[in-house]
Amino acid sequence: MKTYDKAFYVLEEFTDFILYDEHRCSLIVNIKKEFFKVIYYELKKFNFTLVHKSSLKDIDTLTLVFAKAN
């Protein structure tokens, strides 16, 4: 099993919508803020780096972009 598959399965536990690009090994996900530490820690195990994090003031979610570190 490839590492991006493993990361995808971890993210599936926290959201139903995950965008991923197998060619560039990147993932985009929108999650509740309370899950950020867990997701960050787990994806770091698979050598993914957080490259972007954004949120809106009125909504309790984060949009995260992770890319596979070489």
Name the β-bridge partners of 48: 68
- Strand extents, DSSP E, 4-60: 18-21, 26-32, 48-55
- What string of pLDDT tens digits covers the 70 residues of the chain? 677 788 888 999 999 889 988 888 899 999 999 999 999 999 999 999 999 999 988 888 999 999 998 7
pLDDT of 64 reads: 95
CA separation for the pair 46, 57 (Å, rounded): 30
pLDDT of 2 reads: 77
- Rounded CA Rg of the chain: 11
pLDDT of 56 reads: 82
pLDDT of 5 reads: 81
53, HSE (Cβ side, Cα atoms, 13 Å): 11
CA separation for the pair 53, 43 (Å, rounded): 14
pLDDT of 30 reads: 94
